[in-house]
């Protein structure tokens, strides 16, 4: 048993090493997103050498048999036979070994590989979560919660003290007064919570390729943040010229033909924070993705909302400019010019293609905020 | 005199002076402005082409969208298909671009047409070189194509 556990531990170390070695590939291709379960992801590890049995000589040939002379080399027994048909010319398809990894393990590998600092939550743990903890005993309760050991001991004690117990016939029969039941106490557990607001431009110039980049990057951002906080609330906002809050599926699968007004998304995000996610209770993270082709006259309004309402409320505001078939727009440059270095919670990243996702994640999460 | 005929005469005049520059033409409420970087007997190098008109002063998004679709159907000779990309109902503007843009080893180049309420139809060309920011560049087209383009802008408004 111990050997198996040791082997399993060693196997998991090898798997983690392989995943770490190929993390950039996994991040870039996003192939594990579709394999995400509730708490586990299934990862194909093609390069892993799986131990396997090999056929031996099975006793053929050997020493001390036959008519050999002294000093004659010993060869394999049997006569080699001619095979049928030529050797194959195509490479083998290879075997993909799928290993399951918890999201926490995946986040740990991501953190180690990208050298991400652990996040220091802002402010106090203001949210109190109530939990039922089964840590007491009562005389009444449902039979499903009966504490058998305590009930038995109590019955035994009673039988011994009343002289009913017979060591030669050690039957212990609990009566109603002996029965003990597990019970719970409600405890208040202070919890540091985080909320993530994703905003995406779904205007006509954003293609499916750009959305796939956003989806891949969001998966890794989610994985890391979820490993850093006990509870994560995720909200999604899409916009073209107007913005609205949507569910996750709509977020990734909507395409509109409207113009691009980034201020509309900022407005909805600011309302969401004001009405549902007060910064005093939540560590807030905003991730916005666009191709940067904002309609020129909208920039000032966007900067006003960002500077006055969003940046003072959030731990991080990350803007990822995803390059569209028409190149990257000017919004990132305008943001840089407008806000400069004065807000260290504002992080900007240009994502030219899938290969750039890895560095972008590192850039976004590298501050440990 | 319609705009493309007037522009043709302007081009002849500019060519005789040997200097490129601004070519303009008027036809009722329509004013054509053609900013030329260079021209010769065969072709022009164009910074920007704009047809401004009060006919679009109160146009709604649906009308602008129809004009955009009409332009997309007509402009089939620019070597790149032109398609409506974004229709902004708030600002009443329709954006058309080459779809797909022209790609080469060094980057991408595309036309952009904006149909705005107010109003105007404008055409510019952009280039996005790899690792560089997007820049407006000149569009080189034959004089024949330029005149046909102007005629199609007029037709899309009718």
Q: What are phi and psi of A313, to 5 degrees?
A: -100, -20
User: What are the tens digits of pLDDT across the range A233-266?
Assistant: 899 999 998 999 999 889 988 888 888 999 999 9
Of A11-25, A295-309, A335-349, the range with the lowest mean pLDDT is A11-25
Q: Which residue has the tokens 């009930």?
A: A151
User: What are the tens digits of pLDDT across the range B20-69?
Assistant: 889 999 999 999 999 999 999 999 999 999 999 999 999 999 999 999 99
Query: In this complex, is the C-beta atom of B117 within 8 Å of any C-beta atom belonging to chain A?
Result: no
Q: With H, G, I as helix, E, B as strand and everything else as coil, classify residue A301.
A: helix
Is residue B38 within 8 A of residue B18, CB to CB? The reply is: no
User: Mean pLDDT throughout B141-147?
Assistant: 95
Residues of B whose CB is below 8 A from A299: none
Residues of chain A with CATH 3.40.50.410: 192-365
Q: What angle do CA B4, B10, B13 make, to 5 degrees?
A: 150
Q: State whether B86 and A242 contact (CB < 8 Å).
A: no
A34 band by pLDDT with thresholds 50, 70 and 90: low
Q: What are phi and psi of B87, to 5 degrees?
A: -125, 105
A69 band by pLDDT with thresholds 50, 70 and 90: confident
**pLDDT at A184 exceeding the cut of 80:** yes
Q: State whether B88 and A327 contact (CB < 8 Å).
A: no
User: What are the tens digits of pLDDT across the range A16-27?
Assistant: 888 878 778 877
One of 3.40.109.10, 3.40.50.300, 3.40.50.410, 3.20.20.100 is the CATH number of A192-365, namely 3.40.50.410
Query: In this complex, is the C-beta atom of B91 within 8 Å of any C-beta atom belonging to chain A?
Result: yes
User: What are the tens digits of pLDDT across the range A320-340?
Assistant: 999 888 888 889 999 999 987
Q: Write the ipTM.
A: 0.82
**pLDDT at A48 exceeding the cut of 70:** no
Q: State whether B86 and A203 contact (CB < 8 Å).
A: yes
Q: Which of A204, A295, A327 sits opposite B85 (nearest CB)?
A: A204
| CA neighbor of A195 nearest in space, from A225, A158, A219 | A225
**pLDDT at A55 exceeding the cut of 90:** no
Averaged pLDDT score across all residues of chain A: 82
Q: State whether A297 and B91 contact (CB < 8 Å).
A: yes
Is residue B63 within 8 A of residue B80, CB to CB? The reply is: no
Half-sphere exposure of A339 (CA within 13 A, CB side): 25
Taking phi first (over 0 means left), then psi (-120 to 50 degrees means alpha), and beta for anything else, what does residue A136 get?
beta
Q: Which of B90, B101, B110 sits opposite A259 (nearest CB)?
A: B90
User: Mean pLDDT throughout A78-107?
Assistant: 67
């Amino acid at each position: 048993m111990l050997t198996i556990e040791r082997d399993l531990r060693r196997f998991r170390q090898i798997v983690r090493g392989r995943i770490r070695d190929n993390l950039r590939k996994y991040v870039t291709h996003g192939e594990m997103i579709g394999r995400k379960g509730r708490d586990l992801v299934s990862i194909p590890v093609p390069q892993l050498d799986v131990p396997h049995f090999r056929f031996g000589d099975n006793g053929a040939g050997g020493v001390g048999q036959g008519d050999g002379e002294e000093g004659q080399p010993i060869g394999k027994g049997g006569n080699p036979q001619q095979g049928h048909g030529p050797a194959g010319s195509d490479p083998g398809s290879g075997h993909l070994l799928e290993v399951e990894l918890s999201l926490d393990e995946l986040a740990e590998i991501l953190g180690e590989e990208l050298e991400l600092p652990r996040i220091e939550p802002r402010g106090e743990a203001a949210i109190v979560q109530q939990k039922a903890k089964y840590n007491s005993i009562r005389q009444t309760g449902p039979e499903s919660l009966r504490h058998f050991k305590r009930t038995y001991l109590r019955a035994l004690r009673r039988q011994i003290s009343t002289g009913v117990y017979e060591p030669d016939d050690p039957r212990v029969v609990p009566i109603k007064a002996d029965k003990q039941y597990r019970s719970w106490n409600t405890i208040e557990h202070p919890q540091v919570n985080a909320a993530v607001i994703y905003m995406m431009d779904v205007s006509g110039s954003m293609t499916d390729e750009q959305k796939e980049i956003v989806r891949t990057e969001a998966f890794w951002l989610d994985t890391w943040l979820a490993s850093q906080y006990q509870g994560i609330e995720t909200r999604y906002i899409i916009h073209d010229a107007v913005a609205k809050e949507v569910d996750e599926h709509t977020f990734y699968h909507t395409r509109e033909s409207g113009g691009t007004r980034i201020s509309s998304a900022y407005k909805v995000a600011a309302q969401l924070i004001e009405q549902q996610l007060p910064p005093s209770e939540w560590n807030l993270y905003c991730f916005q993705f666009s191709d940067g082709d904002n309609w020129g006259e909208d920039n000032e309004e966007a900067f006003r909302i960002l500077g006055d309402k969003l940046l003072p409320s959030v731990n991080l505001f990350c803007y990822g400019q995803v390059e569209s078939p028409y190149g990257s727009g000017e919004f990132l440059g305008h943001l840089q010019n407008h806000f400069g270095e004065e807000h260290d919670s504002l992080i900007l990243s240009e994502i030219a293609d899938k290969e750039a996702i890895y560095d972008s994640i590192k850039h976004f999460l590298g501050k440990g905020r | 005199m319609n705009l493309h005929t007037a522009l043709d005469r302007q081009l002849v005049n500019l060519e005789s002076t040997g200097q490129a520059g601004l070519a303009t033409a008027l036809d009722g409420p329509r004013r054509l402005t053609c900013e030329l970087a260079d021209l010769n007997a065969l072709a022009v190098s164009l910074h920007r082409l704009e047809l401004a008109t009060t006919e679009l002063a109160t146009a709604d998004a649906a009308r602008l969208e129809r004009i955009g679709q009409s332009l997309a159907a007509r402009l089939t000779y620019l070597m790149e298909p032109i398609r409506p990309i974004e229709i902004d109902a708030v600002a009443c503007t329709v954006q058309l671009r080459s779809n797909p843009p022209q790609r080469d080893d060094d980057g991408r180049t595309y036309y952009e047409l904006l149909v705005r309420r107010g109003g105007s139809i404008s055409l510019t060309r952009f280039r996005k070189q790899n690792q560089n920011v997007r820049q407006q560049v000149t569009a080189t087209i034959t004089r024949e194509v330029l005149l046909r383009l102007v005629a199609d802008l007029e037709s899309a408004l009718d």
